[in-house]
Amino acid sequence: FNSTELKDIELIYSQYYNKLEIYRFTSSLGKFVGYSEYGVKQAKYFNDLPGEVAQ
């Protein structure tokens, strides 16, 4: 990677359980996204927390 532009950098935080992705935060979207029934609930919970996504 060789760029001085911050827009070229993306943070991805994924949570896995039993080798399955449950939810993910992507800085380009700026929110959590769920990939299972439980993950959708967790993503909604994290997205609804005031200031959580801004950190």
For the chain, the domains span 10-48
Name the residue among 10, 13, 8 with its Cα closest to residue 42: 13
User: Strands, DSSP E only, in 1-55?
Assistant: 12-17, 20-26, 31-34
- pLDDT above 60 for 39: yes
Which pLDDT score, from 0 to 100, does residue 26 have?
A: 94
Higher pLDDT, 3 or 19: 19
Which pLDDT score, from 0 to 100, does residue 52 have?
A: 60
pTM of the model: 0.76
Q: For residue range 15-33, list pLDDT tens digits in order.
A: 999 999 999 999 989 999 9
- Average pLDDT on 43-49 reads 94
The dihedral built from the CA positions of residue 20, 22, 25 and 31, taken in this order, carries a sign that is positive
Query: Measured between alpha carbons, how far is 40 from 49 in angstroms, rounded to an integer?
Result: 14
